[in-house]
Structure 1
């Protein structure tokens, strides 16, 4: 393996949650009589911390972003029934990395509570040596999450890689001075990722091994 540390985004990278996120945001807009944005515009804010995402998507309602965020959390957990699942091959790849002595971490725009819940539901918690959420760091694309992780684990930037499905993830990695790998499983298209600093782009999760070796 090229790297000692692999850092993964969660939504749209490890788990197929993008349709549920988009649907939940649309339900929040409907609840507050805010015009829905296009699907592409809504997808474009995935990866940002929740309040930052809502402020970016609905600037005219930025003054009530905290209220919108609370509504989002309720709808996501209790109301919306859009199914979510791990992408094919996720656990197989994680096991292969751990077996080869690679450390694995998560850097996500999810809340701590949200990530912890999904870690338990998916049974993946034991694979990750550390995680950072939007509650503990500046919102992506600030490199804060990545800087915290590599500092905590005493890993040099050249020995770490960020894997994500958004141009926001790629920009965060660039600002942190670490390599980036894009996946086309979630938000960004191959063409969008090719326009970033991504050094490899995978269309399937299991293809990541090729980019990591």
Structure 2
């Protein structure tokens, strides 16, 4: 069936948040005296889509980490940028498809970012962990297609982590596209239907 809906992850697909996230985890490791490698490749292997699974690897107090994470953002207000080219991709795709966001972030946190980047109006539905289980649960993907009354086999999902692929498979979506410029490297994304290295390649991969 013809594709009608394209669902985007936010972190690692639209917004370039890997470096900031890795920096926070490095600083938390230093605070709690956990020895970790400093290179990005370590975190590309370490990070899981559901951050709680990453926390379990270090056996850390999740509430303490959340406090540290929120305090870091409050104190430093780190600048977040969208990936070069992604706005043009959204402009192009929105002419032919319905667009949505499924994020393991809170909607109330990313809406100001989408407004800041002047791309919020591209998305008809934005769903996050405010109201759904963390991916790789398919709940938020299913919620989006149900709200829009669109069939799974008319829906494409674009993510950057292996858990996104699992979520898309469990939701029985038509196609899962993985990007290599986000959190996970290509070797963790091999089960996707298509793998792209740049935002611009998404347009062709959706077809």
Q: Same fold (TM over 0.5)?
A: yes
Distance 1:54 1:80, change over 3 A: farther
Matched, 1:22 2:18: no
Render the CA deviation track for 1:59-114: whole Å, top value 9, x for unaligned: 2x2xx312211211221343274x532112111111111122x1111111112332
Matched, 1:66 2:63: yes
Report if the CA contact (8 A) 2:47-2:183 is conserved. no
Matched, 1:209 2:200: no
Of the three residues 61, 68, 76, the one matched with 1:79 is 76
SS at match of 2:158: strand
Provide the aligned length of Structure 1 versus Structure 2: 204
2:166 aligned residue: 171
Query: Structure 1 regions of 5+ residues with no counterpart?
Result: none
SS at match of 2:10: coil
Of the three residues 181, 188, 191, the one matched with 1:185 is 181
Of the three residues 147, 156, 168, the one matched with 1:161 is 156
1:5 aligned residue: 5
Of the three residues 47, 50, 54, the one matched with 2:49 is 47
1:92 aligned residue: 88
What is the alpha-carbon distance in structure 1 between the residues aligned to residue 71 and residue 54 of structure 2? 15
Deviation at 1:193, TM superposition (A): 1.6
Report if the CA contact (8 A) 1:54-1:69 is conserved. no
Q: TM-score, normalised by structure 2?
A: 0.88
What is the alpha-carbon distance in structure 2 between the residues aligned to residue 116 and residue 32 of structure 1? 32
SS at match of 1:104: strand
Render the CA deviation track for 1:126-172: whole Å, top value 9, x for unaligned: 11111111222111111011011111111100000110111111111
More helix by share: 1
Q: Please provide the CA RMSD for this pair.
A: 2.1
What is the alpha-carbon distance in structure 2 between the residues aligned to residue 80 and residue 31 of structure 1? 20
